[in-house]
Amino acid sequence: MKQYNKNGINILLKKTPLTPRTSVCLFFRTNKKEKFFGLNSLLARLLLQGTKQYSAKKLALEFEKECIDVTTKAKQDYIKCGSVFLNEDFNLALELIKDLILNSTFEDFEKEVFKLKGEIISDLDSPKFRLTDCFVKNLFKNHPYSSTHTKILNDLDKITKKDVIEAHKQMLEGIKAIVVVGDIKDENKIIEYFSDNFNFMKSNEIKDEVEDIFKNDISKDEVIFLSKNDASQAQILQGWIVDSFNSEMCAKYAVLNNVLGSSGLSSRLFVNLRDKQGLAYTVRSQYETLLHSGIFNMYIGTSPKNIEKSLEGFKIELQKLADIPLDDKELLGAKENISGRLKYFTQNNSQIAAVDGYNFMMNLGLDYNERFMKEIFSITKEDVQQAAKKLLEMPKLITIIAPDKYKIN
Amino acid sequence: MNIVKKEQIPYPYLKKPLSVYTFNNGYKVVLAKKDSQIINISSWIKTGSINENKDNNGVSHFVEHLLFKGTTKYKAGCFDRAMEELGGIINAATWKDYTFYYINIPKEHHKIALEMHSDMIVDALFPKEEIGPEFDPTGKMPEEKRERYVVIEEIKMGEDNNWRKVYKNLNNIMYENHPYKREVIGTKEIIANISQEEIKRYYQTFYSPNNITTIVVGEFDEEEIIELIQKNFKFKDNSNIEKCVCDSKIPELEIKNPKTVYDYADINTGFIMMGALCDSAKNLKETIALDLISTILGDGKSSRLYSELIENPKEPHYYQIDSCHYQFKDGDNFFIEANFDANKKDIVMEELKNHLEKLQNITPEELKKAKKRAKVNFAQESEMVADIADSIGYWATVCNDISLAQKYLNTLETIDCNYLEKIAEKYLSPNKIAVSLLLPKGENNETV
């Protein structure tokens, strides 16, 4: 991936010869707490709901008749407009994308609020969704990262069209980048194209107003129980707010996570809770890094009778990793597994654009993946123990969804 | 094992044709060249719930789990650990017509990956201690909860999934007798009680070389791969075993007695699936037509269902809607699925049926858009080694003819609006559709 800055526009280009489809992603950093939860989500959705030139219906048709796949999404730290299309449709796709970014009318505001509300209610019919919603909301309490479905649902009716227009204005004011991955024949031509036509993507350094949060805001372990009386399984999510990519702990947590529960079928949780005890079909750990925070969690879907046994299993596996150093083979295996997964998940143009664009927007640099893997390969057994100990020392949040009679304190 | 045939078969969006090898025992190997840091190795077995009966329903999927549980050479867990320690992503899946096992791994590790993959396919041992003891699922659970219990947890996980519930009920009423009627995952009762002998017998019956296609996609030396395959795929002779008995498999291409089935749960919205039976996936022209109809009806925001019922409704009551076309050896399925305001279920059923009737009027613009989507789907599938392998696996296993992938694009050009309307009338008339609903529990719940 190469980085260019032409007339203040950040343009990232990567050539992938002979690939039939090009991916272009536009990134917009968000720098402050939304006025209402869900405001940026609503904005992202409304970008696809009609411009001065095209109604929502016509816009969808213009994209889909040429198979130009466009998504707009608000994440915790940025809004992204991602697209992928056949190489020959480059100009058409970019014209339409420019139009929706600059000329959206937001006229479908009420309809989109209704649709979003409906989708949220529908998603919350899934017990796993309810569990995750409850976990994130309670982990981050009043922080902007606590923006979950239920919080959005509470705030949706307070949002006005004026708020969306204001949020759109803010979106265009901050740090931005354009990422292009495809069978690029002439880099200069692409750079000139964006310089001439995408002036609105000029990036401006603005102060980030979101607070960093690197530990749980609780003094002791907290258990939240959600009732689902017709559930066949109990689902448990246990976790912590932890350091993120700017900390030396990041690579340590990443290796710990891999060994504990994210390498696949050979992780400690998988082997010891699933294979040896038959407690679950799905059991895993996850480490997610965000600009202002990190999340480490463990998940299991198990028979409601096994709730306590599963929680005990989480504790035992983490304790073992804190107490007993990994052997050389397992440590090296975790590092290789992380490396292989990175290769696997950066195969096609859309994946490359998403990953490299994200790294750029988070100020990590375009060489971040290489630097990250170097850090991973420098991790020692003691580092993994340190990460496990740190988790054990911190109060944890446990959320459980199950029938009432299996409620635990 | 000797090569009896080698063919070069062109494949959409791949620079080089596929090399397809057939061996004297009927075993097939497909090699696809693709520049990539990752190599994908998979073996596709032509068996799934299609080869099950009422007493062993779920065994195909259970065997899939148990293939990871050890061979003569490698104990349970060795394969998983060895592959993942080299950066591999491994797994398997079972469906109605097939079961497949795959490895995605950095290309430099392809030799060991191929060696261990072949070992698990040809020499699975099914150790009793890994399967776990048989037990009564309505009684006391055994202390030793091994893989048998993992599958039961997987079944329970499905019970908590609203879409799976709706699909299970619909699938059950769409068929009279065909094995497709049953759930691929089976039942708790069967999984709790099936014996090691039954499991082994199923494996020995269906994991025969003439039922298996191994696919390798990525950067490799073709001769070396073929040598490795010949060296490692040492199939056992199971010709003398007592074979598993399958149910009769008379294709059902139309729902004999279309019904509506209701189910209830602690939910706040309604879920609906409407389903139709169609001809086999091997009927290429009809299969393409159904793909195109599915795109026109429910793929994307400009599709008829989304555009008319979610974007521009007279009265809004849908939250999600789409349509899909599932291809099977003994006859395809076509579905419309929607999530909606549960108070509006009668209106929803009527509106969706109206949309099926309206398929008698397809415009050239709609057809053009759907054709481009069909072509671009092939371009999309060519981007990653795993997707290429999955696509080849489908054509090799469900259709038994890989050349159909290229023929798909040629046949696509011959299809016009009249043909689509004819196919819609043949399979998707409202009187040929079964309906499954999942609604919030209430006082006046319907049962029929």
Instruction: Say yes or no: A195 and A226 in one domain.
Output: no
- For residue A105, the domain's CATH number is 3.30.830.10
Residues in chain B: 448
Q: What is the pTM of this model?
A: 0.95
What's the ipTM?
Answer: 0.94
Interface of B with A in 238-267 (CB under 8 A): 265-267
Q: Which residues of A touch B159 (CB under 8 A)?
A: 232-233
What is the torsional sign of CA B171, B173, B179, B184? positive
Q: Which residues of B touch A275 (CB under 8 A)?
A: 76-77, 146-147, 150
Q: Is residue A195 part of a domain?
A: yes
How many Å apart are CA B289 and CA B421, to the nearest integer? 9
How far does Cα B315 stand from its chain's mean position?
Answer: 36
Q: How far is B25 from chain A (nearest CA, A)?
A: 32
**Three-state DSSP string of B20-59:** EEEECCCCEEEEEECCCCEEEEEEEECCCHHHCCCCCCCH
Q: How far is A362 from chain B (nearest CA, A)?
A: 26
B84 touches chain A (CB under 8 A): yes
Q: How far is A211 from chain B (nearest CA, A)?
A: 35
Q: Is residue A210 part of a domain?
A: no
Instruction: Say yes or no: A255 and A179 in one domain.
Output: no
CB–CB contact A265 B91 (8 Å): yes
Which two tokens mark A187?
Answer: 């880099």
**What are A128-152's pLDDT values in tens digits?**
999 999 999 999 999 999 999 999 9
Count of Cβ atoms closer than 10 Å to residue A365 Cβ: 12
Question: Nearest residue on chain B to A228, judged by CA atoms?
Answer: B266
Instruction: Say yes or no: A168 and A41 in one domain.
Output: yes
Q: Which residues of chain B have pLDDT under 70?
A: 443-448
Question: Nearest residue on chain B to A127, judged by CA atoms?
Answer: B160
Q: How far is A364 from chain B (nearest CA, A)?
A: 24
User: Which of B266, B319, B375 is facing A230, going by the closest CB pair?
Assistant: B266
Q: Which residues of B touch A334 (CB under 8 A)?
A: 85
B309 touches chain A (CB under 8 A): no
Q: Which residues of A touch B101 (CB under 8 A)?
A: none
pLDDT at B246: 87
**B contact test, residue of A122, A183, A227, A369 with most B CBs within 10 A:** A122
Q: Which residues of A touch B266 (CB under 8 A)?
A: 228-230
How many Å apart are CA B442 and CA B295, to the nearest integer? 36
CB–CB contact B153 A127 (8 Å): no
A to B CB pairs, distance under 8 Å: 182
Nearest to B44 by CA among B66, B28, B68: B28
Instruction: Say yes or no: A96 and A188 in one domain.
Output: yes
B157 touches chain A (CB under 8 A): yes
Q: How far is A339 from chain B (nearest CA, A)?
A: 6
Count of Cβ atoms closer than 10 Å to residue A153 Cβ: 17
Q: Which residue has the tokens 């031509």?
A: A189
Counting Cα atoms < 13 Å in the Cβ hemisphere of B17 gives 11
Instruction: Say yes or no: A196 and A227 in one domain.
Output: no
Task: For Cα atoms B206, B212, B216, give the angle at the middle one, nearest 5 degrees.
Answer: 150
Interface of A with B in 131-190 (CB under 8 A): none
Secondary structure percentages of chain A, helix, strand, coil, to 5 = 50, 20, 30
User: Which of B153, B265, B380 is facing A303, going by the closest CB pair?
Assistant: B153
Instruction: Say yes or no: A147 and A15 in one domain.
Output: yes
Task: For Cα atoms A78, A79, A83, give the angle at the middle one, nearest 5 degrees.
Answer: 130
Answer for the pair A309, A317: CB distance below 8 angstroms, yes or no: no
pLDDT at A230: 94
Q: Which residues of B touch A403 (CB under 8 A)?
A: none
Instruction: Say yes or no: A192 and A261 in one domain.
Output: no
Q: How far is B240 from chain A (nearest CA, A)?
A: 33
Question: Nearest residue on chain A to B307, judged by CA atoms?
Answer: A57
Please tell me the CATH superfamily of domain B3-232, with its number.
Metalloenzyme, LuxS/M16 peptidase-like (3.30.830.10)
Domains B3-232 and B260-440 alike in fold: yes
pLDDT at A206: 86
Q: Is residue A206 part of a domain?
A: no
How many Å apart are CA A36 and CA A161, to the nearest integer? 12
Q: Which residues of B touch A125 (CB under 8 A)?
A: 162, 267-269
How many Å apart are CA A96 and CA A37, to the nearest integer? 28
Instruction: Say yes or no: A272 and A195 in one domain.
Output: no
Instruction: Say yes or no: A100 and A237 in one domain.
Output: no
Q: Which residues of B touch A72 (CB under 8 A)?
A: none
Instruction: Say yes or no: A101 and A17 in one domain.
Output: yes
User: Which of B35, B85, B149 is facing A278, going by the closest CB pair?
Assistant: B149
Residue numbers of the domain that contains A358: 222-406
The full set of domain ranges for chain B reads: 3-232, 260-440
pLDDT at B137: 83
Q: Is residue A211 part of a domain?
A: no
Secondary structure percentages of chain B, helix, strand, coil, to 5 = 45, 20, 35
Q: Which residues of A touch B385 (CB under 8 A)?
A: 347
Answer for the pair A242, A294: CB distance below 8 angstroms, yes or no: yes
pLDDT at B393: 98
User: Which of A111, A128, A281 is facing B150, going by the closest CB pair?
Assistant: A281
Answer for the pair A80, A26: CB distance below 8 angstroms, yes or no: yes
User: Which of B77, B144, B160 is facing A127, going by the closest CB pair?
Assistant: B160
Q: How far is B284 from chain A (nearest CA, A)?
A: 23
User: Which of A118, A278, A281 is facing B157, going by the closest CB pair?
Assistant: A281
Q: Which residues of chain A have pLDDT under 70?
A: none
Given CATH 3.30.830.10, say whether it is the number of domain B260-440.
yes
Answer for the pair A33, A76: CB distance below 8 angstroms, yes or no: no
User: How many domains in chain A?
Assistant: 2
Instruction: Say yes or no: A38 and A125 in one domain.
Output: yes
CB–CB contact B150 A121 (8 Å): no
**B contact test, residue of A23, A125, A126, A274 with most B CBs within 10 A:** A125
Instruction: Say yes or no: A377 and A326 in one domain.
Output: yes
How many Å apart are CA B206 and CA B185, to the nearest integer? 17
